[in-house]
Structure 1
Amino acid sequence: MAWTLLVLAGLIEIVMALALKHTDGWTRLGPTALGIGAALASIYLLSAALRHLPVGTAYAIWTGIGAIGVTLIGILFLGESASPLRLVLIGLVFVGIGGLKLLPA
């Protein structure tokens, strides 16, 4: 269950980052409220997962899910660079997350 909470926290972190991109410096109420709400939900789920997972592992995976998700959405939908080096480096983050998942909690 802790791993499920952690993955959900990471996915909600993606929502937070994308919402904050659209806040226009916190001047747009809708994206700002969504970003803050998603941040609170993500941190709540992370804290629940931390009851059963090591903090270093959980935090690395949480931020990794967010980084990979936001990067892929940026590439696929926001016209951000998909250079080969960028894709390789994001792939390394993915491999690192997988490796951390394999370690004993």
Structure 2
Amino acid sequence: MAVYDNPNTLLMCVYQRDRALCHRDGVTESPHLDRCVSSCANIARTDRHADQLRHRAAAMEGQARRLPGPVGSRLQASAARLRHLAHEHDRTRLHLQEAD
């Protein structure tokens, strides 16, 4: 198993060729990190990624307040999507359990 960090999309790719959506040919031995697909089964996030998603969402909301209608609305929608991704991470993350 190979794990690739993708700081531009705030996620990691736990690469398994047969599940990768970044390419359809199925022959590449590494992911195309510039083509990450949000519904890919290889995606994983850490708590740090979730915090960075929230930070980026806050920055987008700040920009959206200074921009006119349609552009500001698109930024608000993007910020909401990032917050949703962070919330989903929090809701579904795995926790280590202490041994008894």
- TM-score band (shorter)? 0.3 to 0.5
Q: TM-score with structure 2 length normalisation?
A: 0.39
* Higher helix fraction (1 or 2): 1
Larger radius of gyration: 2
* Higher strand fraction (1 or 2): 2
Q: Which has the higher contact order (CA 8 A, sep 6+)?
A: 1
